[in-house]
Chain A
Amino acid sequence: MAMVYLGPFIFSVIVSFSDNKNLINQPGQIVNSGWTLRNYIYIWKDLPFATWLFNSVVITACQTVTNVFFSALAGFTFAKLEFRGKNLIFGAMLASLMIPGIILIIPKFLIINEFRMINSYPGLILPGMITVVNIFLMKQFFETMPKDLVQAALIDGCNYFQMFWKVFIPNSKPALAAVAIYTFQGTWNEFMWPLIATNTSEMFTLPVGMASLRYELLTDWPAIMAGTILVSIPTLIIFIIFQRYFVQGVASTGGKE
């Protein structure tokens, strides 16, 4: 099972260090080919890799921060506050999950285009600043926390935002970490929207940039693989760092005092 998942990844790593440009077509030659760092050097030096990296970092950072903040805020509101139309709004939000994302790409493009934001950071960031799934996740988490906490905080003199910020947020680390990791992963690897919302290479994100190599350098698979390996390193690192939060998240949602 592990080999099914790891096999392609290991193969990519091998290809990225290979000096045989045809290795992908002749995998049998894996033993005979020489090893080199040329592909990585090429990616860094001859391509706008740094620009794409910067773009990816900016967009991912912005979307991760806004998703964590807004989904926590909305989740808290839906879970702990009472207001008119709460169930209706939440129901409508959940219903929107039924619509496949791909259908929304065109309307999203039209709206962003109307705002003259195509090929800009705002245009890339804005549509992914908040996600219904994350709101749902945070709402479910906050619902496991006792309502008494709201009342204790009210009596202690908190307003609703202070209650959210000083009482609920510090106790939500596992859920916040989960939202952060999901968003990071999703945004970092997002391909479709950046592809549609950008039209010059200096606005490309890493996945779009990597894909563009395929057309320009038809056969340079080792370079593409080197790029892909570089793109996946941050996701791996983040996952390793936050892994314990995943475990903690599962363990601590049961009995919050």
Chain B
Amino acid sequence: MATIEIKNLQKTYPNNHYAIKGIDVSIQEGEFVVLVGPSGCGKSTLLRMIAGLEDISGGDLFFNDKLMNSVHPKDRNIAMVFQNYALYPHMTVYDNMAFGLKLKKMPKAEIYQRVTDAAKTLGLTEYIDRLPKEMSGGQRQRVAIGRAIVRQPDVFLFDEPLSNLDAKLRVQMRTEIKRLHRKLRNTMVYVTHDQIEAMAMGDKIVILKDGVVHQIDSPINLFRHPQNKFVAGFIGSPAMNFVSGEIVKEEGLYFVTQGMKISIPPPLQVSMEKYLGKSVDMGFRPEYVYDKGLEKERRLSTDVEIEILVVENVGSETYNHFRLNGMDTIYSYRSSSSNVHIPGEKLTVGIDLERLHFFDVETEKSIL
């Protein structure tokens, strides 16, 4: 097991393209950290720098306080699972798992022991003599995980390992990897572009965009307290709704936009004062929009009239997409599956006042 300390890490390519622009992350022993962000954000590059597969252009990388910048991948005691499995096609499952150990000149008996143990953990015992091409995608990825386990590494690195699997298998493997983490208690760094996967798996999530860290936090904090508009929009599905408007003062502070006037909740009154007369963006999650006719307990905003455009009923719940007072943007609102609307229906809704987010228009930072 190892701690990983990433200090001001940078990656520049010869054409002066900055892939990573000075990242600081601190990973504790046994922690499951997920690097997530849209494609091209630098998450895979960062992972490969941790693995030693990419050179470090600037900054430092420490494993257990030992500088790793120029240590060869094989000497970092890491194991990596790749998106395309990267199994050796000519080797059986056993040989694939044993390959690294054989190169280390480990005694045969110990190799056998480790490989059979890993195969048992992953339910691969009956496939041990098969070639990768004789197995399904899920089984292959399990072999790749097995190959990582037998090395007994300090750090496990996963590079979008589930992206090639179908949706059902992805959820199943997600659980398996989590279970494995609970069993092995190793430090794991996991890259994905899927925010749901990130939320489901990570103890800690690092959100990256354009080579910069936007927020490092626990899944629930990212959801509840996003530090900026990007994080707010990236985490959560369907994504958070954003409306631009102005702060005005009457008896208290209000956020006003076309046909919508929402009183600023008391905890935010002070910090919003300096935005008086200025534009701000308000964010609200689809989960916290309620049908005024049904919801009586929560403190909701003043009435907001909407017209439903599209209804997506996914069984357990319904996503309703709507327009706000003639505005072009389409927003969404989640209702229970028992409360199904129809396209064209006009509705009065309210937004939970305790779940509102406001963002500075220029810096896009959250106003707290």
**A: which residues have CB within 8 A of B?**
146, 148-149, 151-158, 162, 166-167, 170-171, 256-257
Contacts and interface: CB of A to CB of B under 8 A. Distances in A.
Nearest to B148: A155
Contact of B80 (A149, A152, A166, A170): A152
A148 B83 contact: yes
Contacts of A153: 88
B183 interface: no
A152 B82 contact: yes
B87 A257 contact: yes
Contact of A257 (B74, B79, B132): B132
A146 B89 CA distance: 11
Given A146-B84, A149-B88, A257 B133 contact: yes
B78 interface: yes
Given A155-B79, A155-B80, A149 B74 contact: no
A155 B84 contact: no
B53 interface: yes
Interface stretch (B98-106, B107-115, B214-222): B98-106
Interface in B323-343: none
B319 interface: no
Nearest to A256: B89
B73 A155 contact: yes
Given A146-B84, A154-B74, A257 B103 contact: no
A145 to B, nearest CB: 9
A170 B88 CA distance: 10
Given A154-B53, A154-B73, A170-B90, A257 B100 contact: no
B89 A257 contact: yes
15 contacts: A148-B84, A149-B88, A152-B80, A152-B86, A152-B147, A153-B88, A154-B73, A155-B73, A155-B78, A155-B79, A155-B100, A156-B74, A156-B99, A158-B103, A171-B88
Nearest to A173: B90
A155 B132 CA distance: 19
Nearest to A82: B55
Contacts of A154: 52-53, 73-74
A156 B84 contact: no
Nearest to A167: B88
Contacts, number: 61
Nearest to A154: B73
A257 B84 contact: yes
Contacts of A257: 84-85, 87, 89, 132-133, 140
B51 interface: yes
A162 B86 CA distance: 16
B160 to A, nearest CB: 11
Contact of A156 (B51, B83, B89, B100): B100
Contact of A155 (B51, B83, B90, B104): B51
A156 B84 CA distance: 16
A162 B88 contact: no
A167 B132 CA distance: 14
A152 B88 CA distance: 9
A157 B140 CA distance: 21
A149 B48 CA distance: 14
Contacts of A148: 82-86
B140 A151 contact: no
Contacts of A151: 48, 51, 53, 73, 80, 82, 86
A155 B88 contact: no
* Central interface residue in A146, A155, A162, A257, by most chain B CB within 10 Å: A155
Nearest to B85: A257
A161 B361 CA distance: 55
Give the 7 A-B CB pairs with smallest separation, nearest first: A148-B86, A156-B100, A157-B74, A152-B86, A170-B90, A157-B103, A148-B82
A154 B82 CA distance: 13
B149 to A, nearest CB: 13
Interface centre among A151, A153, A166, A167, by most B CB within 10 Å? A151
Contacts of A155: 51, 53, 73-74, 78-80, 100
Contacts of B74: 154-158
A158 B79 CA distance: 13
A115 B239 CA distance: 75
B352 to A, nearest CB: 46
A157 B86 contact: no
Given A148-B84, A149-B88, A257-B84, 10 more contacts: A151-B51, A151-B53, A152-B88, A154-B52, A154-B74, A155-B53, A155-B78, A156-B74, A166-B99, A257-B89
